[in-house]
Amino acid sequence: MSNRVPDLRPAIAAKHPFESCFVDLGNHSADKALNALTHAVHAEQRDMNAYDWITQALPGATLKPALAFGTVGELYRSYTRPAEFGRLKQIWRL
């Protein structure tokens, strides 16, 4: 007979990878932020300052300082390149 004690630690939700680009998302979700960023890239706003874009697209959200000084295109690349590299590493392991 097993007297297993239930695990009392709270379940920690997996963090969305795009959250690492922000100091604070405000009341926005990472998915909403990523959708807004993708829309901005497709709307040819790549050269727009990332800080100006984030204050318009996601009021209350705060980018990390290194990303806030860049462009929307640089912000997009800073998220997509590590994700592409992760997928490439998965392929190499097969």
pLDDT at 94: 62
Question: Tens of pLDDT along 47-73?
Answer: 999 999 999 998 998 988 888 888 998
Q: Are 6 and 46 in contact (CB under 8 A)?
A: no
Question: Which two three-digit tokens encode residue 75?
Answer: 């912000």
pLDDT at 8: 63
- What value does the mean pLDDT of the chain take? 81
User: For the residues 74-81, what does the mean pLDDT come to?
Assistant: 81
pLDDT at 56: 92
Contacts of 18 (CB under 8 A, 6+ apart): 30, 33, 34, 37, 79
Domain edges within the chain: 17-93
46-79 b/e with 16+ CB inside 10 Å = b?
Answer: bebebbebbeebbeebebeeebbebbbbebbebb
Higher-confidence position of 41 and 5: 41
| Res. 1: pLDDT tops 60 | no
Q: Are 58 and 32 in contact (CB under 8 A)?
A: yes
